[in-house]
Structure 1
C-alpha cells in the first residue's frame, strides 16, 4: 500500500524489502536550490568562458581537417572515375571481355548469396536453446560462442562486399554494351 512522505514521493511498503522512492535523479526542489546557488552560477560562467575561448581554435581545426578530408575524397572519386572509364573502354574493345566480366559478376553474386546463407545459419545456431544451455553449464563454451558470432559477422560483411562488387561490375558491363540502365 503506498504511503506519501512529506515531499510527495510515493513509497511502496512490501514486507522484507527496503523502502525506496519511485523517483530517480534530482527532484524539482533540488534543481531549484541548485539554480540559485552561487556554485552553479560560477560553474556556468567558467564553462561558458572556456567554450568561448576555445571556439575559434576548434573552428579552425575543424575547417582544416574537413578541407583535407574533402580534397582526399575528390581525388579518390576522380581516380575511381578514371579507372571505371578505362575498364569500360577495355570492355568495349572485346566482346569476350564483356562475357567474362558478366560471368565474374554472376560468380560474385552467387558467392554473396552463399555467404549470406552461411551467416544466417551461424546466427541461427547461436540462438538455439541447446547452445544457450551449454553456455550456462560450460563457461569455456562462451569463447566458441563468441568466435561463431564473429565468423557470422565476417561472413555477412564478405557477402555484402561481394554483392556490391557484382552490382558494380554488372553496371560497368551494361555501360560498355551501350545500355543506359
Structure 2
C-alpha cells in the first residue's frame, strides 16, 4: 500500500511539473520577416532548451540548431530553399510548435494562422513501473503506445484517448533484465524512449 501511494505521488508530481512548463514555448517565439527570404527569430523567456528545425513537407530536416540560453535573436536567410511548403519547428521540453511557411516566386510567407502545437508525452520509470503522461486537449486525441523488447518483439500495445491528462502505467516487474523501447505516436509525431531494466 505504501508503494502504491508513493508511486501515485510521483505520478501526480510529474503531471504537475509537466503542466506548469507547458505554456513556456507558446509565449517565447517571435518571427519577423525582414526581406523576401530573410526572417528574424527571437526566443525569449526560455526556461528550457529549444531545438529549432526547418523541415520540408515530408518531415525531412533541412536545418537544425540547438538553443540553450534564456534569450536568443538571430536572422536566418532562407535563400537555399526553393519554391515549396516548409515548417519551422521548435522542440521544447514539453511541446513541439510547428509554424508552416511557403515559398512562392522567391517570396517567403509565414502561415502563423495554421500553426500547430503538439504536447509531448512524458515518460518516467519508477522501479518496475513505466509512467506515461500526456496533456490532451480534446477527446479525439489518440495516443498510440507500443512497448518492445530488445529483439523488437511487441510486448504491449494500446490506443488511449482522452481529454485533459492521459495517464498510463506499464508494469515491467515480471520482465527479464535488459533493454526495452517505448514508442509513442501522437498527432503525426513519434516519440521513442529506451528503458533499461
Task: Please state which structure has a larger fraction of its residues in strand.
Answer: 2
TM over 0.5: no
Task: Please indicate the TM-score interval, normalised by the length of the shorter structure.
Answer: under 0.3
TM-score of the superposed pair, with normalisation by structure 1: 0.26
Bigger helix fraction: 1
